[in-house]
Amino acid sequence: GIQVEQSPPDLILQEGANSTLRCNFSDSVNNLQWFHQNPWGQLINLFYIPSGTKQNGRLSATTVATERYSLLYISSSQTTDSGVYFCAVVTSGSRLTFGEGTQLTVNP
């Protein structure tokens, strides 16, 4: 099956810093989503982005499907951005295959 690799596994930032999270996938995908999992376990949709670039406030994402990677940018980070960020892809049907996540900690 498809492999999804996220980097870095852990990231510690000071409030106000910018960061880039990366997601590599091993095969062509029909769909790619980025999620933020808060400390209570809720998965929050950030982007549905099988290709191209999208922006939502301080967050933006870019997927280059031909090169099989996606990037999530967080600018001017805040303590509330802390949590685990997951990339998930769909190859056929609609089952999501998740990466192992990036644990982000933003310190005040």
Partner 1 sequence: DAGVTQSPTHLIKTRGQQVTLRCSPISGHKSVSWYQQVLGQGPQFIFQYYEKEERGRGNFPDRFSARQFPNYSSELNVNALLLGDSALYLCASQTGIADTQYFGPGTRLTVL
What is the full DSSP assignment across 42-71?
Answer: -EEEEEE-SSEEEEETTEEEEEEGGGTEEE
Least separation in angstroms between residue 95's CB and partner 1 is: 4
| Residue 30 is a binding residue for partner 1 (CB under 8 A) | yes
The answer to whether the CB of 97 falls within 8 A of the CB of 4 is: yes
Site string for partner 1, 36-75 (x = CB under 8 A): ----xxxxxx--x---------------------------
Please give the helix or strand (H or E) that residue 105 lies within, else none.
Answer: strand 102-107
Q: Which of 74, 88, 89, 106 binds partner 1 (CB under 8 A)?
A: 88
The answer to whether the CB of 77 falls within 8 A of the CB of 13 is: yes
Binding site for partner 1 (CB under 8 A): 4, 30-31, 33, 35, 40-45, 48, 86, 88, 90, 93-101
